[in-house]
């Protein structure tokens, strides 16, 4: 088993690799013209790459939930499939709600900025 220092080092390496993978995904989906398709794909990729979950509920060690689910599904090695799907779906719902809030905030900002530009043009 890993000691605390090795565990943190492995997580830092994983987070750097996951950030690079997310940036590659971001570049691969950049060609999609519709923002309402492209940006949710970015959110889904971020959730799949960055959501951690406990490997064993009794232990403090964590791992990426998507990879635990994937390995348990492919190799039928444990009973973590339902728990990981629950963790991933909860994180996806929270990220989706935050994304919708960001979209509404962005739309409100564009509307407000358009109104202020119209009033400035009318004042001239």
Q: Which pLDDT tens digit goes with each residue over 19-54?
A: 999 999 999 999 999 999 999 999 999 999 999 999
DSSP 78: -
Q: Where are the domains of the chain?
A: 4-123
Residues 50-60: tens digit of each pLDDT: 999 998 888 88
What is the token pair recorded at 115? 């109104």
Decide if 62 contacts 55 (C-beta within 8 A): yes
pTM, two decimals, is 0.83
- Nearest CA among 66, 94, 91 for reference residue 80: 66
CB atoms within 10 A of CB 32: 12
């Amino acid at each position: 088993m890993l000691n605390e220092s090795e565990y943190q080092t492995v997580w830092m390496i994983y987070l750097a690799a996951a950030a690079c993978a997310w940036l590659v995904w971001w570049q691969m989906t950049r060609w999609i013209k519709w923002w309402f398709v492209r940006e949710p794909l970015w959110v889904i990729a971020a959730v799949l790459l960055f959501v951690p979950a406990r490997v064993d509920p009794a232990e403090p060690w964590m791992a990426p939930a998507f990879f635990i689910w994937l390995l348990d599904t492919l190799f039928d090695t444990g009973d973590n499939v339902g728990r990981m799907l629950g963790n991933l779906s909860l994180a996806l719902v929270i990220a989706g709600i935050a994304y919708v809030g960001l979209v509404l905030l962005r739309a409100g900002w564009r509307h407000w900025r358009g109104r202020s530009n119209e009033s400035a043009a009318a004042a001239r």
